[in-house]
Chain A
């Protein structure tokens, strides 16, 4: 999992926030919101409204759990992981279909998708159209840099299943983009 490098000196604010200092927590929010929002935005399929809700939930949960933070990792890493867990819980709570259950016919017609896949916005749109769990596996592995062991642990699946689902998610994405692999 990639390290978070934005917060090398936020230890004092973390300790103060854990003790109930709201201003310290606000400083932590300002420092880390970009990374948290970015990850949640990708996991939420680039849906801004949902990403805002998830971001708020993540910081509220962080506030609640901060007294348990043991400083064994960087605060940013802890917060990032917590935020991703919030997004994955949301996916599970919505009863998202597993990738293996996704039918190709449910994907949007490639003809409806802008066809220049080299452009970032189009790629994001295509990822946003993936089924939630397929998107989670692809985003966590190919964009966030997670290992299959971590993905499997968070999504409650075996490593082999995570690999198989990633393969299928990539194929679905290519199909969404109108590419045949």
Chain B
């Protein structure tokens, strides 16, 4: 047999073929067990969505609280750092600083679980901006 004929015969083997018996009943039965393999992905997705929604809600509440406190704070004590060690003397600003620190820590924890979440990253940046704004306000007031 020459090479051309050889290749032609091989290509002709590329045909669909029906099974000798109906395999669907066995597959259908196995899918009951396989359904469990789908569940974790869905649960994980739901958990991630829940986490994102909770973070968004917390951010909105936090932003409102901080805004209210900033509007209510004509004076503030001095501060030098935005980290959790920074604590303005003014109790109103100190409360806001604690809340912002807690929010940042929670967001960092959430980001560890969902590092690809752009929304969480955006919230973290927003929280850091609020912390900087709070520091600036405390500086001005001092």
Contact = CB atoms under 8 A, between A and B. Distances in A.
Majority secondary structure, B binding face? helix
B38 A67 contact: yes
Given A60-B27, A118-B1, A142-B7, A55 B19 contact: yes
B30 A56 contact: yes
Interface stretch (B8-16, B51-59, B109-117): B8-16
A36 B5 CA distance: 26
A34 B16 contact: yes
B10 A143 contact: yes
A179 B34 CA distance: 47
Given A56-B26, A67-B41, A117-B1, A37 B16 contact: yes
Contacts of B35: 20
Interface in B24-79: 24, 26-28, 30-31, 34-35, 37-38, 41-42
Nearest to A66: B38
Given A38-B17, A52-B19, A60 B24 contact: no
Contacts of A51: 19
A29 B16 CA distance: 13
A143 B7 CA distance: 9
Interface in A1-58: 2, 6, 20, 22, 25-26, 29-30, 33-35, 37-38, 41-42, 48, 51-52, 55-56
Contacts of A37: 16-19
Contacts, number: 81
Contacts of B41: 67
Interface string A140-159: 00111100000000000000
Closest 8 CB pairs of A and B: A34-B16, A38-B17, A142-B10, A38-B16, A35-B16, A64-B37, A59-B27, A143-B14
Interface of B: 1, 5, 7, 9-21, 23-24, 26-28, 30-31, 34-35, 37-38, 41-42
Given A6-B16, A26-B24, A123-B9, 17 more contacts: A20-B35, A20-B38, A35-B16, A52-B21, A56-B23, A56-B26, A56-B27, A56-B30, A60-B30, A64-B34, A64-B37, A118-B5, A118-B9, A127-B13, A142-B7, A143-B13, A144-B14
Interface of A: 2, 6, 20, 22, 25-26, 29-30, 33-35, 37-38, 41-42, 48, 51-52, 55-56, 59-60, 63-64, 67, 117-118, 120, 123-124, 127, 138, 142-145, 179
